[in-house]
Amino acid sequence: MLAKEVGALGLDDVIVLAIPRGGVPVGDEIASRLGAPLDIIVARKIGAPGYPEYAIGAVSQDGEPLIDLPAADAVGATRDYLEQEVALKAQEVKERMRAYRGDVPYPNLEGKTVVLVDDGIATGSTVRAAIRSIRRRSPRLVVLATPVAPPDTVRELSPEADKVVCLSQPEGFGAVGEFYADFAQLKDSDVVEILQKRRQGSRRPPL
């Protein structure tokens, strides 16, 4: 469904960047529909002290941290805590990039239409960090595509991207997994397999 919506935009000179792990199979469907290359962009969430699932920021793959200072203050995240988390997440980003991509050169995004994909968005911290990392590579357009996100998060992210495609924006959003019949955890090997098949020119018929 998301691939059809993105396909209807009539985009050209596209590269699809997915946020691993969950965004990769969703991005693969969109790349298949568009006949576009698929790659990843890695950003790691910075969680609140004692509540790692509650995002107060993120670190992008170029090492730039993005901190929600009001949220960090509200949960008592100290400067030392944030510095330690930024260093830890930056290292995790490097390790994930190496694990998923090996030595494959990162694609040139200059002048491209970049479709950024995730399997769902909660607070938007990770996606915001990813968009800003993409912007530093001078794309022509940035399109954010996701199946589900709360309406306030979509509103907050809309100024960051040139276009946001979100199929469902439910009130009372709890967690992304609530909106999937199967939300089994993907393995790193699943991500690598999808990327390798896409690089080898494997194409499925459009949905």
Same domain? 35 vs 110: yes
For 15-48, the pLDDT digits (tens) are 999 999 999 999 999 999 999 999 999 988 899 9
Whole-angstrom distance, CA of residue 10 vs CA of residue 152: 27
- Kindly report the backbone phi and psi dihedral angles of residue 62, in degrees, each rounded to the nearest multiple of 5, phi listed first: -95, 10
CATH of the domain at 50: 3.30.1310.20
List, for residues 68-112, the tens digit of each pLDDT value: 999 999 999 999 999 999 999 999 999 999 999 988 899 999 999
pLDDT at 53: 81
Both 105 and 78 in a single domain?
no
CA 65 to CA 43: how far, in whole Å?
9
CA 83 – CA 63 distance, rounded (Å): 12
Give the containing element (helix H, strand E) for 4: helix 2-7
* Judgement on whether residues 71 and 143 belong to the same structural domain of the protein: no
Cβ-count burial of 162 within 10 angstroms (0-12 exposed, 13-18 middle, 19+ buried)? middle
| Residue 120 maps to a domain | yes
207 within a domain of the structure (yes/no): no
What is the average pLDDT across 165-175?
A: 91
pLDDT digits (tens, 9 = 90+) for 144-166: 999 999 999 999 999 999 999 99
| 204 lies in some domain | no
* Whether the predicted pLDDT of 203 surpasses 70: no
Distance CA(51)–CA(121), nearest Å, equals 18
Q: State the pairing for strand pair 65-67/51-60.
A: antiparallel
Residue 168 is assigned to a structural domain of this protein: yes
The reply to whether 61 and 158 lie within a common domain is no
| 200: Cα separation from own chain's centroid | 23
The domain of 109 spans 2-42+101-199
Tell me, yes or no, whether 50 and 144 share the same domain. no
In a domain, 205, yes or no: no
Q: For residues 82 and 107, state if they share a domain.
A: no
**Whether 63 and 109 share a structural domain:** no
* Last residue within a domain, chosen from 84, 100, 116: 100
The structural domain count of the chain equals: 2
What's the pLDDT band for 205 if we cut at 50, 70, 90?
very low
> How confident is the model at residue 184, as a pLDDT?
86
Distance CA 66, CA 85 (A): 12
Among 52, 69, 100, the domain-final residue is 100
Flag whether 206 is in a domain. no
Is residue 171, in this structure, part of any structural domain at all?
yes
